Amino acid sequence: MNLTRNLLLPDEDGHYAPESLAIDRARARAIALGHHPIDSIAREMAVNETRRRFFSRAARGLGAVALASIASENARASTGIQPAFGGLPDLPNFTPKAKRCLYFHLVGAPPQMETFDYKPKMAEMFDKDLPESIRNGQRLTTMTSGQMRFPIAPSIFKFAQYGKSGAWISELLPYTAKMVDDLAIIRSMHTEAINHEPALTFFQTGQMVAGRPCIGAWLSYGLGSMNQSLPTFVVLQANHKLPKANVQAISARMWSAGFLGGKYAGVSLRSSGDPVLFLNNPDGVPTEVRRRMLDSLAQMNQIEYERLGDPETRTRIAQYEMAFRMQSSAPELTDLSKEPDSVFATYGEDSRTPGSFAQSCLMARRLAERGVRFVQVYHRGWDVHGDLPEVLSSQCKEIDQPLYALIGDLKQRGMLDDTLVILAGEFGRTVYCQGKLTETNYGRDHHPRCFSLWMAGGGVKGGVVHGETDDFSYNITKDPVHVRDFHATILHLFGIDHEHFTYQYQGLDVRLTGVEKAEVVRRILT
């Protein structure tokens, strides 16, 4: 807590300093109603209006006040002037390149050899056994550890080189191919977990067992919010289209804030029902009635505050106002009707469908524009143990064009430079086949020893391909990047030294990157 702060203002937790109560009551009341940055509405109420006049203009007048302030925030967003609320006083450690992050996670883990890690020599190895020297005693999941043999399944998808960088991209990702010069592709990722649940938790929190804060929570905690009417960290769950795709579970623990505290946890933005849980007033309660109820509530709470002097009461008054602001700004956020047809055309027609990956990309851009710090999108259906060609074709098609559109859109709006975009899965897949191998069909098991992901924007250099794997995409041969390094790199882009960014829990200085050495992947930085 920054203790040099003005005692008349609440701290980043929204709590008022008890000392402020030493000031006389009249002033205290003025503070309660006036000085909190989000109290402008309440001040309006107290100072300007008699009750009746107030109510008669509530619908237009106050709504307009609220909207005006949101609009001004949006204006700030577009000019890039976004003061942070909350956050640690000594962060960032150095000038950040990224102000926000849009992170797309492909749940189930896409195969690297069908996407970014081209392995031409495998073509001749069809149905040959994976050499023991390559497998080298690596542990296997119990799904394939009982297999009699490990026949190699070469990717049936063609690759070609694209862009100035000449990166090899699979035919499954034609749009991605067009933007390789904006991407840093890491082909040498590796992790420690071999099954989804722990691997996802590890990717998100740096630890396999639940309970640690995830990346988005760390950033919210460290850097605070860039807006006053939307959550700092938003989670979207995009539906996949192919019913037969093998789906893995996700859970709230993936976006939990662990010991950092619930207010840093991701808030789900839902594609049906209330966009934020319980956001909408019940049927029959329009904004003006809610506003009137809140004014009356604030008056009664103010009496309570004057009776008992509990600073938490003032925090509560402020939080109800914040809730009201959220109610006003979320519909504006989720209302896509003002997006021109050309935008939908760029993101693909799917982007008109609520809950689609394409719409999530568009929504991610809108969230970024409005000052949301971290957007996490989950897309399921990537666990291709069987029927890989069919399932993967469908999955890739869903994400390819929208991501291309997103990068282009961000660029056009001048936001790519300070918006970090990430596409990743939680591990890779085996070159050998799981189940029956034919010329046209196969499946792949989990493989933690190497996999690919890409990052773009926000201080990441485009047109970079980092790391190499062996001919089998089984072992890393150059520039390994551990999940910890990935975390360190994200924090670095946000101007944070990952070794210094700690939180004391159970006596230990816990950090996202854990206790072992983690290094920023400098080669991919601008």
Partner 1 sequence: MKRIVVLGSLKIDRAQKGQHARPNSRYPIPKLFLRREASLLQRQFAVLALFSSGLSAQTARVDFQREIRPILSENCFQCHGPDSAARQAGLRLDHHDAALAVIAPGKSASSVLFQRISSTDSGFHMPPAYSRRALTPAQIALIKRWIDEGAAWKDHWAFQPPAQPKPPSVANPAWVRNPIDRFILAALESKGLSPAPAADPRTLIRRVALSLTGLPPKPSEVEAFLADTAPGAYERMVDRYLASPHYGEQRAHFWLDAVRYADTNGYHFDNYREIWPYRDWVIAAYNRNLSFKQFTIEQIAGDLLPNSTLDQKIATGFQRCSETTNEGGIIEDEYAEIYAKDRADTFGAVFLGLTVGCAACHDHKFDPISQKDYYSLGAFFRNTPQRIMDGNASDQAPFVIVPREQDRTRWAEIESRRQAIAGEMAHARDAAAVPFSAWERAQLTAAPSPLGPAIYTADLNALSFSAEGITLAEAPIAGHRALYFTKAGGATETKPPKVDSENPFSIAVTFLSPKSDNYNLASHQNTKDKNRGWVLDVSNRLASFRLIGDNGDAIEIRAALDQIPPTTWNVIVASYDGSRVQSGLDLYLNGRAIPTQGRNNPFTKLNGAINVDDPLILGKSLADGAISKLDILSNAVTESEARAYNDGAAGYFLLREFAPYRALAAEDEKLSKEAKEIAKQAATTPVMQERASETPFAHVLFRGAYDQPRERVEANTPAVLPPMSPSLPRNRLGLAQWLFAPDQPLTARATVNRMWQEIFGVGLVKSADDFGSQGEPPSNPQLLDWLAVNFEKSGWDVKRFYRQLLLSAAYRQSAVATPLKLKIDPENRLLSRGPRFRMDAEMIRDYVLAASSLLAPQIGGPSVKPYQPDGIWESVAMLSSNTRFYKQDSGPGLYRRSLYTLWKRAAPPASLEILNAPSRESCTVRRERTNTPLQALVTMNDVQFIEAARALAESAMESGMTFTSRLSYMSSRILMRPLTAAEQGIARHAYDDFIRYYDAHPDDARKLLNDGERKGDPGLPAADFAALSMLANQFFNLDEVLNQ
Nearer to partner 1 (CB atom), residue 280 or residue 393: 280
Residue 423, helix vs strand vs coil: strand
- At its nearest, how many Å lie between partner 1 and the CB of residue 277? 6
Nearer to partner 1 (CB atom), residue 139 or residue 522: 139
- At its nearest, how many Å lie between partner 1 and the CB of residue 265? 9
| Angle between helix 287-308 and helix 63-79 axes, rounded to 10 deg | 90
- At its nearest, how many Å lie between partner 1 and the CB of residue 320? 5
Nearer to partner 1 (CB atom), residue 23 or residue 345: 23
Nearer to partner 1 (CB atom), residue 56 or residue 412: 56
Nearer to partner 1 (CB atom), residue 279 or residue 525: 279
CA distance 354 to 505: 40
- At its nearest, how many Å lie between partner 1 and the CB of residue 58? 9
Task: Give the DSSP H or E segment for 235.
Answer: strand 233-238
- At its nearest, how many Å lie between partner 1 and the CB of residue 313? 5
- Tell me the C-alpha to C-alpha distance, in Å, between residue 191 and each of 105, 138, 254, 486, 499: 15, 13, 17, 10, 20
CA distance 352 to 359: 6
Counting Cα atoms < 13 Å in the Cβ hemisphere of 11 gives 17
What burial class does residue 48 get, using C-beta atoms within 10 Å of its C-beta: 0-12 exposed, 13-18 middle, 19+ buried?
A: exposed
Q: Which of 428, 463, 425 is nearest to 119 (CA)?
A: 428
Q: Using an 8 Å Cβ cutoff, are 152 and 122 in contact?
A: yes
- At its nearest, how many Å lie between partner 1 and the CB of residue 394? 16
Nearer to partner 1 (CB atom), residue 81 or residue 252: 252
Nearer to partner 1 (CB atom), residue 210 or residue 343: 210
Nearer to partner 1 (CB atom), residue 313 or residue 469: 313
Q: Which of 205, 211, 196, 206 is nearest to 250 (CA)?
A: 196
Nearer to partner 1 (CB atom), residue 156 or residue 289: 289
- At its nearest, how many Å lie between partner 1 and the CB of residue 261? 5
What DSSP letter does each residue of 162-217 carry, written as one string?
ETTTTEEEETT-HHHHHTGGGEEEEEEEE-S--SHHHHHHHHHHSSSSTTSPPHHH
- DSSP state at residue 460: B
- Tell me the C-alpha to C-alpha distance, in Å, between residue 395 and each of 130, 242, 245, 246, 427: 27, 8, 8, 11, 17
CA distance 495 to 510: 19
- Tell me the C-alpha to C-alpha distance, in Å, between residue 327 and each of 39, 121, 359: 15, 57, 21
- At its nearest, how many Å lie between partner 1 and the CB of residue 250? 5
Nearer to partner 1 (CB atom), residue 17 or residue 65: 17
Contacting residues for 295 by C-beta, under 8 A, at least 6 apart: 45, 54, 58
- At its nearest, how many Å lie between partner 1 and the CB of residue 391? 14
- At its nearest, how many Å lie between partner 1 and the CB of residue 297? 5
